[in-house]
Structure 1
Amino acid sequence: MSSYSIGQAARVLGVSPETVRRWADGGHIRMDRHGPGNRVIDGVSLAAFAKERAAGVPTGPDAVATSLRNAFSGIVTGVTLDDVAAQVEIQAGPHRIVSVVTREAVEELGLAVGVTVTARVKSTDVHIDKP
């Protein structure tokens, strides 16, 4: 059976090692000791936790209901405007996402460097939602 260190689990889940420690201390992820004090998470438990976390449906007044499941929350790092089209660059954790959308969409959403967005990917299309 595979096991993961706190750092490895953090990379898999896209969070900081401190977040993984808090989740473990709060009883959300089962962690065991391996050797003289090293904390590890078994692969089956980590997979189950990742699946439960991904199944979460957004709630609240600003939540967006969508059928798209590949969502990457991030920050806009670049916007290049043309007469009709625009290129939007997003940094979502370790992922750089580039989308070409209409200039009108960029203006309507108020997209600019530093704005928090969610890129939703379906097939070869990227949809950008602003919370």
Structure 2
Amino acid sequence: MPTYSIGQAARLLRVSPETVRRWADAGRLPMTRDGSGNRMVDGVGLALFARERAADDERGASSGPPTSVRNAFTGIVTALAVDDVVAQVEIPSGPHRVVSLVTREAVEELDLAVGVMVTARVKSTNVYVDRS
């Protein structure tokens, strides 16, 4: 079961770490402690919380550079298969699993690897992957 630090959860939710702490203190976002006593957010709980927030915010406003692409999925690369020309990138984002085919050159330019946080931008039949 994946867990995330307060900072990681804040980046995924696009809020400040202090906001994540306040939500946890108010009981809105479940947290546990790791072996060192650090507060950790359960991945499943974080996904549920993100889904609830998305339902509350129909605008889907995002931070970052201006773009005409409205469907943005931030997540962590969990699988990357690269051959001579093309690469397959797998990104779970909340309840969604996004799989994108990109060029090997794009993987190298973005320095993509398993565990790297990215944003997949979906427009029509195309998926654009940005390094977060």
Query: TM-score, normalised to structure 2's length?
Result: 0.57
Partner of 1:50 in structure 2? 57
Residues in 2 aligned to 1:88 and 1:48: alpha-carbon distance in whole angstroms:
27
Q: Runs of 5+ in structure 1 lacking a partner? A: 1-14, 24-45
Q: 1:48 to 1:66 in 2, by over 3 A?
A: same
Q: 1:66 to 1:81 in 2, by over 3 A?
A: same
Runs of 4+ in structure 1 deviating by more than 3 angstroms, as ranges, are 18-23, 46-49
Q: 1:84 to 1:51 in 2, by over 3 A?
A: same
Number of residue equivalences:
89
Partner of 2:8 in structure 1? none
**Alignment partner of 1:99 is 2:100:** yes
1:96-129 deviation digits (Å, cap 9, x = unpaired): 1110000000000011000000000011100001
Q: 1:70 to 1:47 in 2, by over 3 A?
A: closer
Shift of 1:86: 0.5
Partner amino acid for 2:128? H
Shift of 1:64: 2.2
Which of the two has higher C-alpha Rg? 1
**Alignment partner of 1:120 is 2:121:** yes
Partner of 1:78 in structure 2? 79
Could you say what the CA RMSD is over the residues aligned between the two structures, in angstroms?
3.0
Shift of 1:47: 9.0
Residues in 1 aligned to 2:82 and 2:56: alpha-carbon distance in whole angstroms:
41
Residues in 2 aligned to 1:84 and 1:112: alpha-carbon distance in whole angstroms:
16
| Identical pairs, percent | 59
Residues in 2 aligned to 1:99 and 1:69: alpha-carbon distance in whole angstroms:
17
SS in 2 for 1:114: coil
Q: Runs of 5+ in structure 2 lacking a partner? A: 1-12, 14-22, 30-52
